[in-house]
């Protein structure tokens, strides 16, 4: 499986600010995704990060709030903009790999907004 790293691993931010989370994969992958896991909850897909084109967002998530970049096949960023305490969550990137398109997750970024 692909090795995925995320930076930062955690951060504490003030409301109204923005944070950019980086996701780096050790091999080229076709599909990259960003998920959110709110405290005590399951995972919710934010968007699919498309290489060379705009990300595809799920219902309830918009580009102005969660801009995503994917400049190449091994790297993506997710920005959480104009943060509020409700954005406090774990943000995870994932990639598909293998002949059965298994999906693997990065270690996550734990965000706390005060």
Partner 1 sequence: QKEVEQNSGPLSVPEGAIASLNCTYSDRGSQSFFWYRQYSGKSPELIMFIYSNGDKEDGRFTAQLNKASQYVSLLIRDSQPSDSATYLCAGTLAGGTSYGKLTFGQGTILTVHP
List contacts with partner 1 (CB under 8 A): 1, 31, 33, 41-45, 48, 56, 58, 90, 92, 94, 96, 100-108
Choice between 8 and 16, CB closer to partner 1 = 8
Task: Give the nearest distance from C-beta 58 to partner 1 in angstroms.
Answer: 8
Choice between 36 and 77, CB closer to partner 1 = 36
Choice between 27 and 84, CB closer to partner 1 = 27
Tokens of 28: 């080229």
Task: Tell me, letter by letter, the H, E, C secondary structure of the chain.
Answer: CCCEEEECCEEEECCCCCEEEEEEECCCCCCEEEEEECCCCCEEEEEEECCCCCCEECCCCCCCCCCEEEEECCEEEEEECCCCHHHCEEEEEEEEECCCCEEEECCCEEEEEC
Task: Give the nearest distance from C-beta 96 to partner 1 in angstroms.
Answer: 5
Task: Give the nearest distance from C-beta 54 to partner 1 in angstroms.
Answer: 13
Task: Give the nearest distance from C-beta 19 to partner 1 in angstroms.
Answer: 18
């Amino acid at each position: 499986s692909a090795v995925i790293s995320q930076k930062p691993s955690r951060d504490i931010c003030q409301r109204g600010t923005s944070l950019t989370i980086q996701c780096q994969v050790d091999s080229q992958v076709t599909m990259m995704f960003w998920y959110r896991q709110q405290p005590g909850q399951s995972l919710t897909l934010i968007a699919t990060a498309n290489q060379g084109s705009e990300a595809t967002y799920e219902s309830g998530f918009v580009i102005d709030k969660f801009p995503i970049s994917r400049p190449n096949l091994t790297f993506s960023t997710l920005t959480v903009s104009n943060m509020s305490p409700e954005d406090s969550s774990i943000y995870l990137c994932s990639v598909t790999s293998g002949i059965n398109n298994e999906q693997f997750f990065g270690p996550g970024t734990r965000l706390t907004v005060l």
